[in-house]
Amino acid sequence: MELIISQILNAVMLACTYTLVGIGFSLFFGAMDIVVFCLGDVAIAGAFAIMALSTVMGVYASLSGILPAPISGIIVVFIGACFTAGLVTLMYRAVIVPFEGKNINASLLSTIAAGIVIRELIGLFYPEGRNPHAFPQLLPAGLIGDNVLLSWRNIIIIAITFIMVMLLYWFVNRTKTGLSIQAISQNKEAAIMVGINWHRIIVITFLIGGFLLGIGGFLTASYFNSLRFDMGAMYGLKGFCVAVVGGLGSIYGAIVGGLLIAFVEVFVTAFIPGGTAYSSVAAFLIVVLFILFKPEGILGEKTVEKV
Amino acid sequence: MLELKNVSTRYGQIPILMQVNIQVARGETVCILGANGAGKTTLLKTILGMVKPTAGEIYFNKQRIDSLPPHNIIAQGIAIVPEREGLFPKLTVENNLLMGGYYEQDPGNILARLAEVYQAFPWLPQRLKQKAGTLSGGERKMLGIARALLANPQLLLMDEPSLGLAPATINEVFNVITRIKRDKEITILLVEQNARKALLVAERGYVLQKGAVILEGPAAALQENEIVKKSYLAAGSF
Amino acid sequence: MGNKIYRYSLAGLSTLGICMALYVCLSSALLVALIVIALAIVILSVGERKNVIDKVYRLIGDNKALNLGIIALFILLLPFLVQGNNYLLHIAIMAGIFSIVALGLNFQIGGIGQINFAPAAFYGMGAYTSAFLSVKMGLSPWLGTLCGLLMAIVLGVVVGFPALKARGYYLSLVTIALQIIFTLMIVNSPWIGGPNGIPGIPSYQIGGFSFRTPVALGGIQLPYQVNFLYLVYILLALFALAANRLYNSRVGLAWNAIEQDPIVAACQGINLTNTQLLAFCLGAAYAGIAGAIYGHYTSFIGVENFDFSQSLIFICMVILGGTDNVPGVVLGAVLLTMIDEKLRDFSGYRLLMYGIVLIIILIIRPKGLLPKRIRVYQQKDRSEYSSHSAVVTGGSR
Ligand SMILES: Nc1ncnc2c1ncn2[C@@H]1O[C@H](COP(=O)(O)OP(=O)(O)OP(=O)(O)O)[C@@H](O)[C@H]1O
Ligand SMILES: [Mg+2]
């Protein structure tokens, strides 16, 4: 029983790290009908930015001198998330705009190439970039009670994800800009006809999605306690899987999809002998099955094939 | 108020509009008649800047607008009732309406206009929380009109407001149009297949054929015109 | 008559020019190679605008035998041109092997318009099957290669089935997932070497002559790579001709119809299941053979040769060269192999430059170096050229 509960907790945390990047995929797919394959790398770049701020650049240390530790932590993470927001918007300009409305395959490849570029830039130019790094402990590590998994860090990871999703929910459903994002993803032409500045809304979508990605990268690095320059490739793929399982384009689907994939991974690892090696295999198999038998995802709406 | 001078457009290499000249004066209702594929919708999209003219000039309130992006043109006071599929299916009726008032900063004005719109379409207030995609075809069309009214435009473009509606609903829609004309002194550019109705509400009309204006004149004159009679008022089309 | 000779020599000269350009790329430093490629892009772009490229195509098409002869001669002489430099020969062999894989992948990308992200899995399936059978079971490499081919086809069916149900991004995710599952399974299978790969793979033999023995040709001692060079390029020629035939046949047309719109294609009486599966199985067969040869050539295979990034490289080759255009795909594969090898000098920067070069090329030539050609329905009677209809298939989606 103890084991199962701790594994559930573990899975929920893993789901948190997947959810935010999955939301990124869904957000951009909803707004532009494209899959941006470099999101995982963008998120990990954000984690590297946060790490740089707290170690080599010493921003965290100097902030902690004048502010309480949690606040300087929040500031550092916020700056990192702003960095990814900028980065993903730059990606939009550099590798998505040139292919807009032209050729799906070209934009697919260009975003994959952009992922490679980001990854390699980190590997080349971050000090000791190709070695694994221990991620700085910005979240308090103390335990709550005597369950190893019930630490402050884990609770905070879940809380941050929850807050982010709630904020996004509020933004998308209660603000004019958020409604415009939805409007564009549902009917681009009608959105233009009511006078929505399409381009501006897309950029805002990318900024918001990028911000969430930065937070996601931070959570991932905190969860694994380590950071590698090439983590982004797998992280991005998992995020894409999560978005598809939940229903590509559905923000809430990303939460459900994140939970599903994370539970499969954690439980295969924990309860199947020798399962560690096959946890990703199981996750990907689930995705393949979903695509084959329920391509609209769990929460996505059934799209009728047009004749 | 609106003036198109020698406007031509094309999709790719295919010319759609050829040297179209249209004027609409303030407070006037002008209708545009034309067969399917004549380029009527394209004409409206060209006015909105969604299709860029390859030649010619468009003026709105004496200002040249043909090189502006759509949102800047719309912000100057133009709204459109889209032909079909013009709503946001997964947003609620209320949010769809509010998208119409995209450029209104003052919430008080929006509330006032909502009240007006509810008066014109009494069924709307009960449906506010329903998803627009679940409305019936006629209801959608009317929601499209309501949304355009919420923008309180100086110029209202209507793309076949009677398309796909039952005769009784068509009457209702045209009653609304008449009422808007009477109460708000709005300028309307109406694209219609239902020529009989359109020529009743409009003061003037143009006939578009294969992208070119082949006839223009006061509505009464058009009603008597042989071409119009034969193509658009033939027996059976109400 | 004079005109004919003039056209004949012009055609020969253009082919010769292409061969020489490739040779310069192969034998010189990265910078020179990049300059040659940039020049080629400029020539292609200008040529397209002035409609010269079409003439060159027709010129080359009208004198097929001559041009194939020149290319064959070029390959035949290549070992002497590079003076037996085994590294350059190695690059040429790899270019040939990758070309075969890319041609196979093109059946999916160019043919039915589905990006398959698992070509390296097909390629790896051929390599691992053949290597395993010949190392652990002592099977002859020739038979092993055949088995590799068959196993790759089996995998082709496995990957192809999802393609029947999913399209676009969904299919890309399925194929990515299968590719990753493939690599994970290899890493986790100690009986095929796991992460350590399979070393000591025997080479092909013909009647006691091992392909791994150097040969003396025309009084010059040439490294063993020559054997493989000729083997690979003979196969490449066969496969390229077969691909070309297919593309111009009803099958190619059916593929393109599916690419445009599967539902309409089905309404036209095209059997979607068979036609799409064929694209995957044929592609897998090409890749399987190439993989098997690769294993027997290098004598060592490891999982890193067959992972997702290798798949990406194959896809880049097809897209860069020009989808659904056999010469284009081969050109793309050859160029990228050479660039890739030359980037090894900058080992740390290799992948970075790869990504940047890819983005730049996608932006300036999104349809590839040699874009898809217009299908022309005339083969028999050239005099009626102008009266026949031409149908554009494919294009931007
Ligand atoms: N996006 C587009 N790309 C290419 N051609 C288009 C496009 N939109 C419209 N057309 C073509 O332009 C022509 C005019 O279309 P338009 O929609 O303006 O006609 P219409 O007069 O509104 O017809 P209807 O009464 O059927 O609504 C048609 O032949 C149509 O096929
Ligand atoms: Mg129309």
Which residues 6+ apart lie within 8 Å of C209 measured at CB?
none
> Can you give the residue ranges of every domain in chain B?
1-77+188-238
Residue C286 CA to residue C290 CA, distance in Å, equals 6
Mean pLDDT score, C3-11: 81
Q: What is the pLDDT of residue C396?
A: 37
- Any chains having at least 3 CB pairs less than 8 A from chain B are A
For a mutational test of ligand 1's pocket, the pick from B7, B40, B158, i.e. the residue with the most ligand atoms closer than 8 A to its C-beta, is B40
Q: How wide is the angle at C-alpha C95 spanned by C-alphas C91 and C96, nearest 5°?
A: 120
- Any chains having at least 3 CB pairs less than 8 A from chain A are B, C
What are the residues facing B11 on neighbouring strands?
Answer: B14
- Nearest residue by C-alpha to atom 6 in ligand 1: B11
For a mutational test of ligand 1's pocket, the pick from B11, B85, B232, i.e. the residue with the most ligand atoms closer than 8 A to its C-beta, is B11
Q: What is the pLDDT of residue C390?
A: 43
Q: What is the pLDDT of residue C397?
A: 34
3-state DSSP assignment of residue B17: strand
C165, C168, C355: residue with CB nearest A113: C355
Label residue A306 by pLDDT band (50, 70, 90): very low
Q: Considering only CB atoms, which chain B residues are within 8 Å of A195? A: 70-71, 74-75, 102-103, 151
Say whether pLDDT at C84 is over 70. yes
Q: Say whether A182 and B91 touch across the interface (CB within 8 A).
A: yes
pLDDT tens column, C325-335: 888 899 999 98
Asked if C311 and C179 count as a contact pair (C-beta separation under 8 A), the reply is yes
Token pair recorded at residue B157: 């473009």
- Nearest residue by C-alpha to atom 18 in ligand 1: B39
Q: What is the pLDDT of residue C229?
A: 92
Looking at this predicted complex, what is its ipTM? 0.88
Label residue B234 by pLDDT band (50, 70, 90): low
> Can you give the residue ranges of every domain in chain A?
2-293
Q: What is the pLDDT of residue C374?
A: 66
Give percent of chain B with pLDDT exceeding 70.
97
Q: Considering only CB atoms, which chain C residues are within 8 Å of A99? A: 362, 366
Q: Say whether A192 and B70 touch across the interface (CB within 8 A).
A: yes
Q: Considering only CB atoms, which chain C residues are within 8 Å of A124? A: 348-349, 352
Q: Judge residue A66's burial from the number of C-beta atoms within 10 Å of its C-beta, 0-12 exposed, 13-18 middle, 19 or more buried.
A: exposed
Say whether pLDDT at C12 is over 90. no
Say whether pLDDT at C394 is over 50. no
Q: What is the pLDDT of residue A147?
A: 67
Q: Do chains B and A touch (3 or more CB pairs under 8 A)?
A: yes
Q: Does C358 touch chain A (CB under 8 A)?
A: yes
Pocket of ligand 1 (CB under 6 A): B 11, 16, 34, 36-42, 83
Q: Which of A102-106, A215-219, C36-40 has the highest mean pLDDT?
A: A215-219
Residue C4 CA to residue C10 CA, distance in Å, equals 10
Q: How many A×B Cβ pairs under 8 Å?
A: 67
Atom of ligand 1 nearest to the CA of B193: 25
Long-range contacts of A95-102, Cβ-Cβ distance < 8 Å, separation of 24 or more: A95/A38, A95/C359, A96/A32, A96/A34, A96/A36, A98/C362, A98/C363, A99/C362, A99/C366, A102/C366, A102/C396
Say whether pLDDT at A128 is over 70. yes
Q: Into which CATH architecture does domain B1-77+188-238 fall?
A: 3-Layer(aba) Sandwich (3.40)
**H or E stretch at B56:** strand B55-60
pLDDT tens column, C136-191: 888 899 999 999 999 999 999 988 888 777 777 788 888 888 899 999 999 988 88
Q: What is the pLDDT of residue C392?
A: 43
Interface-testing mutation among B95, B102, B157, with chain A (most A C-beta atoms within 10 A): B102
Average pLDDT, chain C: 84
Within 262-321 of C, beta carbons closer than 8 Å to A belong to 263, 308, 312, 315-316, 319
- Nearest residue by C-alpha to atom 28 in ligand 1: B37
Asked if C152 and C126 count as a contact pair (C-beta separation under 8 A), the reply is yes
Q: What is the pLDDT of residue C384?
A: 40
Label residue B101 by pLDDT band (50, 70, 90): confident
Asked if A95 and A114 count as a contact pair (C-beta separation under 8 A), the reply is yes
Asked if B69 and B51 count as a contact pair (C-beta separation under 8 A), the reply is no
Q: Say whether A186 and B85 touch across the interface (CB within 8 A).
A: no
Token pair recorded at residue A7: 């594994």
Q: What is the pLDDT of residue A300?
A: 66
- Nearest residue by C-alpha to atom 25 in ligand 1: B36
Q: Does C150 touch chain A (CB under 8 A)?
A: no
Q: How wide is the angle at C-alpha A61 spanned by C-alphas A60 and A63, nearest 5°?
A: 65
Asked if C332 and C325 count as a contact pair (C-beta separation under 8 A), the reply is no
Mean pLDDT score, A172-193: 90
Q: What is the pLDDT of residue C385?
A: 42
Give percent of chain C with pLDDT exceeding 90.
30
Helix axis angle, B107-120 relative to B137-150, nearest 10°?
140
Q: Say whether A186 and B88 touch across the interface (CB within 8 A).
A: yes
Reduce the secondary structure of chain A to three states and give it as a string.
CHHHHHHHHHHHHHHHHHHHHHHHHHHHHHHHCCCCCCHHHHHHHHHHHHHHHHCCCCHHHHHHHHCCHHHHHHHHHHHHHHHHHHHHHHHHHHHHHHHCCCCHHHHHHHHHHHHHHHHHHHHHHCCCCCCCEECCCCCCCCECCCCCCCEHHHHHHHHHHHHHHHHHHHHHHHCHHHHHHHHHHHCHHHHHHCCCCHHHHHHHHHHHHHHHHHHHHHHHHHHHCEECCCHHHHHHHHHHHHHHHHCCCCHHHHHHHHHHHHHHHHHHHHHCCCHHHHHHHHHHHHHHHHHHHCCCCCCCCCCCCCC
Q: Say whether B88 and A180 touch across the interface (CB within 8 A).
A: no
Label residue C280 by pLDDT band (50, 70, 90): very high
Residue A88 CA to residue C12 CA, distance in Å, equals 49
Q: Which has more confidence, B233 or B58?
A: B58
pLDDT tens column, B180-219: 888 878 899 999 888 888 888 888 999 888 888 888 888 8
Say whether pLDDT at C226 is over 50. yes
> Can you give the residue ranges of every domain in chain C?
82-392
Token pair recorded at residue A142: 């103390």
Q: What is the pLDDT of residue A229?
A: 92
Q: What is the pLDDT of residue C377?
A: 52
Q: Between 1.20.120, 1.10.3470, 3.30.450, 3.40.50, what CATH number should domain C82-392 receive? A: 1.10.3470
3-state DSSP assignment of residue C167: coil
Q: How many A×C Cβ pairs under 8 Å?
A: 116
**Least trusted range by pLDDT, from A137-151, B78-92, C263-277, C372-386:** C372-386
Mean pLDDT score, B50-62: 91
Which residues 6+ apart lie within 8 Å of C342 measured at CB?
C29, C30, C33
Q: Do chains C and A touch (3 or more CB pairs under 8 A)?
A: yes
Label residue A149 by pLDDT band (50, 70, 90): low
Q: Which of C358, C352, C354 is nearest to A125 (CA)?
A: C352
Residue C90 CA to residue C298 CA, distance in Å, equals 10
Q: Which has more confidence, A274 or C305?
A: C305
What kind of fold does domain A2-293 have according to CATH?
Answer: ABC transporter involved in vitamin B12 uptake, BtuC (1.10.3470)
Average pLDDT, chain B: 86
